[in-house]
Every structure is written in C-alpha cells, then in structure tokens.
Structure 1
C-alpha cells in the first residue's frame, strides 16, 4: 500500500474552498478547484509516494507491472487499464447538461471517428475512447443535480401551471402522448430551436417561473432551477431542457447512479464521484463546448420517472456498499464512531483506492508482501491516512484492516473505497 499524490483540476465551475479544505491547504484557493482525480487516467494520473521520497506515476506502473498491480481478473477483463476513476467533485456553478453512451455505442462511435481520421483531441470529437462511462455520485455535502426525465404526467402538469403562451403547442406534444415517445418529441423540438426563437421564449419562461414562485406553486424547486440556469446561461436550450428533468437533492451519504443514456447536470455541492475510466461525453447545453445534438439524441434514454436515491447496503455495523450494475467500479463507505470503532477488512482480488474523508485512519497489512524491497508496504505493515489523504492498494498486496486512530474525536471517522465492480 502506497500513499498517492493526486491532481486537482481547476475548471471554472469549481469551488475555491471545498477541495482546499479537504486537503488542508489555505482557504480560499487562488482559483476555482473543481475535481481531485485519484486513479490512472492518462490526462492526470496519480503518483505513488515511495518511502525514499521518490514518486512514480500509477499509469506507468500499470504498464510495467499489470498483473501485480491489477490482478489477473482485472487484466483479463480490462487489459492494463484501471477500469475506474475516483474523483472529489466540488461544484459552485452548474456543469454541462450531458449524457454518456453505452459500451456498444461507444465502440461503434469510436471506430467511426477513427476511420474518419478525426484527431482524438479534436474539440468536436464525441468518442475519444471505445468504452462506456457509467457514473455514481455520492454526496459529501448537500448536493444538487438534474438527473433523468421526470414522470411525463407530472411534467404535463408543470407546463400547464407555467402556461407559457409560446410553448402551448409544444407542451401539447407531451400532453397528447405522456410517455417516453412524447418526451423525445418535445425534447427534440426544444433542443433544436433556433437561437432567435430562444431569445423570445426564454424570457417568457423565466417570467412564468417567477409568477409560479410568487403564487406558492408546487413546482417551486423546478422554477428556481430554471431561473438559476437562465441567469448563468442566457439563451441556452439547456434551460428549457431542465424543465423536463428531475431535480435531485442528496444529503451526505446519499448517491445516484447514472447509467448510459441518462441526461444529467450537476448543479452545486461536493460529492465523491466514481466512474468508468472514459472521456466519452455528449453535451446538449449549459456549456460553451461542442454540442452534437444528433448524436446525443441517438444515445439518450427517454425513460421517465423518479430518480432512485441510493443509501447503500449495510454489510456490517461500519461498512456500506453502493451496489450498481457497473462492472467497472464499486464504491464502499466505512464510518466509525465511539460506539462503532472496530476494524474493517478491505479485502479484494483486484486494485483499490482508499480515501479518508474524516478523522484519521490506520491501515494495517496482515503480512508483508514477499520481496517488498520496492516499499509497497511500509515498515511494520502500517500506514496512517489523514483527512484528504488516499492510498493505492495493489491486487498483490496482503489483506488490509482499517481502524480509526481516535474514534472519540468530535464527529465520525470515515473513509471511502473504490474497487472493481462485482456486477456483470
């Protein structure tokens, strides 16, 4: 087991406080910090900190020692690639409205773009790699998101309450067919509206949202969402699209899983995101980046209904697992308190990344790795993690037990573990 040094991504929508505070750095940060990446993504791989003070890229280590680091189960399925990426995501402003392809769609799209000769780093590239990108976001603070299409009947009622004159005929598309096909027809109409029409209709929509809030209507949260997005992204079709989506508010420890085809946008808050190690994103609004509406419509899933909130499956008094259909990843959470301070085994046949988010945690290896001259297990087989620190556990490392250093400190002690998925 080895400590990691991880990259911070400074996107404009990020927070100046959340990641800096987690890492114990001065607050506020000099610029927005959006994501802390833990893994072997080629764009910003984590670095392993060796006892002699040297560092090695996790990405390069997987190339030279794939079986030792990843295990045969992982390499048989994913080759020399770590299939998941773990992120701390800190949003002070909304992210783009987007969806991700299925494995089959990604493979076909990648092959087509490769055959066309389009550079993999081209801004108009939809498929820089041939893999799916399912995601799970688990809230560390209150976390707001748009995710999945709202029940069509409820959306019909919402549009009726707003009663925007220039949208009455559009809303009639859904009222006549309140199902996934009606949603597809309405969404397609809205997302392809010309800019001059958006300039006329969006002010009417936002005025209707203000009226609805003043009248104490039942769709207050949805109206606030549209007003917030309308201010940040004027004349953007994504503001209209937001009227069709579930507004989800997660409390710490709650999560949502975003499968292929799910239209979503993270709005604000800090969460722990685990996702397949892929860059395939199809955007449709709330962004200055490339938008390919035709391709997005090809991959979108218009299934509608409430977005399921995951609270995790309790494995014992301390361990909670967020089960999903994703083969690439599984996220677990371990919590300790003065009443629940026992050790928790972090056993796995594959690679793991462990992040401490509260207090201090001691990781103890049950035995030393044979020939561990490279320092893969610290002297005595123990390593302490403080808040914001993370560790790489290779597949060949011995089983590890995690315990709180001092569970009596104010608040709980907590860590998260990323591992390969058990679904599939």
Structure 2
C-alpha cells in the first residue's frame, strides 16, 4: 500500500480551478486541466511514492511483477496489464461525441489496421489497441451529459416542436419508423449530409431552438444544449445528432454506465470515471480530430430508451456500481460528520483508493498506516493484506475504490 500521484492531463475543455483546488495547488492554473489519471496507462502513468521519497511509474511496477501486483487471474487475463484506468474529469466545456467498440470489434479493427500498416499513433488510427473500452462515470458535482438514443417517439415530439421547412422531411422519416432502425437511418442521413446541405439546415434548426427556449417549451433543456454545441461547432453534423440523444443530469453519487456502442458526450461538471485501459474511440463530431463515419456506424448501438442512472448498490459499508464488466468495478464509502465506523477492504486487489472528501486513515495487520486527504490516493497490489479504513476528524469523508472485475481478483 503506497501513495499514488495522479498524472494531470491538459485539454482545452478542462477547468482551471477544479483539479488545482483538489490537489492543493494555486488557483487558477495557467492552463485548463481536464483529467487526472490514476493508473498504469502507457500514455501517462501515475507515479508511486516510495517511503524513501523517490517515485516510480506504476506502469514500471506492474511490468516488473505483473503476477504479484495484479494477481495471477488478472495478470493472465489481461496479459500483464492493469485492466482499468481511474480518472477525475473536470469539464468546463463539452467533449467530443463518441462511442467505443466491443471486445470483438476492437480485436478485428486492430488486426485490420495493423495489417494495413497504419502507425499506432497516426491521426487516422481508430484502434491503437485490441481491447474494448467500456466506461462508468460517477458525478462528484452536478454532471451533465448526452448518452444513448432517446425513445424515438419522444424524439419525434421534440423535432415537431422545433420543426422547420428544412427539418420536416427528417421528422417524418423517424415518425414513419420510430425504432432503432429508424434512428439508424436518420442518424446516418444527418452525419453524411454534404456540407452545403448542412450549412442550410443547421441555422434553421438553431433558430427554431432559440424560439423554443424563449417560449419555455417542453424541450428547453435539450434545445439549450444544442445551441451551446452549435455555437462552438457551427458547421458540425454532431449538433444535429445531439437532438437524438438522452439529456442526462447526474447528482453527486449518481453514475452512468456506457457499454460498447453507446454514443455519448460529456457536457459539464466534475466526475470520477473508470474505464477499461484502452484508447479505442470512434468520434461522431464536435471535434477537430479524426472522424471515420463508416467505422462509427459499424460500432454505434441504436437501441433506445432512457439511460439507467446507477446510485450504487449497498454492499456492507460500501455502495457498489455493478456493471458486470470484467475490466473494472467502482465502489464508494461515505462517512458523515458523526459516523466514524471502521470499514474492512479485502486483500484481493489490485486496486486504487482515492479520497474525494475529508480525510481517512488506512491500516493493516502488518503495521502499515497511510493517511489520505482529499485528492490523495494509494495503490494496493493483489499481494497486499486486507486493509481497514476509517474517517479522521469530524468532516464528512468519502473514499472511492477502483478494482478489476470481481471474477478476476486475487490469486
């Protein structure tokens, strides 16, 4: 059990205050800081702080002893790689609209691009690795997202509320087939429109959204989101695609699970994200990065309906966000101002423990003690003994626990 220092990622959509404030650094930061990575991702691994004050990459530690660090089952299943990546997201502006492949799609796409000789770091590479990328996002503050295709009957109502001459044909296209196949047809039509047609249709749609918001219409929140995206990306087909997705607002502690094929877009807020340790992303738009429409259409899942919001199932003293994903599991422990109960965490590892509020003390039967304040974390390899944790002081405290899937823990 050793202290872990996350890797800060700077992207234009990030916040200048959230991550610096969490880490106790001067606020605001010189540049937007969007993500804080706690993991062994080759692109930016976290660093373990040794007792002597030295630091070493978590990736180096795992590579040097995969079975001891990950446990035999986990190491064998994931070829000696830590299968998950834990992040803090600090979004001030919307990210790109995207979906991720299934394990089978990733393996096939990776093999195809390897055979074609596309460099793994090329801008037009869709599959830099052969693994799936499911993810779960859990709100720390109010968190806003678009995720999954809305029930088509409700989408038809929205489109009729903002209907314009240029939009009418597309409304009828979905109204005539209000199911996943109809959504696929409309989505495909919109994201393959010639730029000249898009330049005519988008201003009409945005003007109609303005009117709907001013009138206090039923879909005012959805229309405000489309207007926000349209202002940032005035000629992008992703703005139209946003009309088809569920608009979700998560409260602190609520989460969304985004399996393979789920089209989504994070809009604003601070959250914990846990995902498979993969870089496979198929973008739909709202980004200057590579968009491969045919490949995107192979991956996107057009099943529709409300997105389930997870609140965490009680499991002893923890709330567990169950997804069945083999790569990861996320759980949360909360203490209020009077609750100072002791919680035991088994020694099945590997895991990362991250304190997001207050202060907690971790200790085991071998005499190891680590105190975590807000923003601090530890790495616990599979070989570690069970650890107990309790809140320190009188403040509200919160601890997140990131592990591999239940079937792959231990030795």
Q: 1:148-185 CA deviation, whole Å, 9 max, x = no partner?
A: 00000000111111112101111211100000000000
In structure 2, the residue matched to 1:274 is: 274
Q: 2-side partners of 1:338 and 1:142: how far apart?
A: 22
Match in the other structure for 1:365 = 364
- Residues 330-341 of structure 1: matches in 2 within 5 Å? 330-341=329-340
- Aligned mates of 2:271, 2:6 — CA distance in 1: 16
Q: Deviations over 1:184-238 (max 9, x none)?
A: 0000000011111111111110110111112221001110010000011111100
2:392 maps to 405
Q: Helix, strand or coil for the counterpart of 1:166? A: coil
Q: For the residues of structure 1 that align with 2:400 and 2:58, how far apart are their CA atoms?
A: 19
Aligned residue in 2 for 1:416: 400
Residue number in structure 1 paired with 2:352: 353
Q: Note the C-alpha offset of 1:402.
A: 0.7
1:324–1:423 contact (8 Å) kept in structure 2: no
Whether the 8 Å contact between 1:74 and 1:350 is mirrored in structure 2 is: no
Is 2:235 the partner of 1:251? no
Superposed displacement of residue 262, structure 1 = 0.2
Distance in 2, matches of 1:245 and 1:399, equals 43
Q: Tell me the equivalent position of 2:291.
A: 291
Provide the residue aligned with 2:383 in structure 1. Answer: 396
Which residue in 2 is equivalent to 1:372? none
Q: How many residues align?
A: 408
Q: CA deviation at 1:303?
A: 0.4
How far off its partner does 1:340 sit?
Answer: 2.4
Q: Give the RMSD, CA atoms, in angstroms.
A: 1.0
Tell me, yes or no, if the aligned pair for 1:132 and 1:276 is still in contact at 8 Å. yes
Structure 1 gap ranges (5+): 368-379
In structure 2, how many angstroms separate the alpha carbons of the residues matched to 1:21 and 1:202?
A: 39
TM-score by length of 1: 0.95
Partner SS, residue 268 of structure 1: strand
CA–CA distance in structure 1, aligned partners of residues 203 and 354 of structure 2: 45
Secondary structure of 2:225's partner? helix
Give CA-to-partner distance per residue, 1:79-130, whole Å, 9 cap, x none. Answer: 2100000000000000000000000000000000000110000000000000
**SS of residue matched to 1:114:** helix
- Helix, strand or coil at the partner of 2:296: helix
Q: How does 1:13-412 map to 2 (within 5 A)?
A: 13-316=13-316, 318-367=317-366, 380-406=367-393, 408-409=394-395, 412=396
User: 4+ runs of 1 displaced by more than 4 Å?
Assistant: none
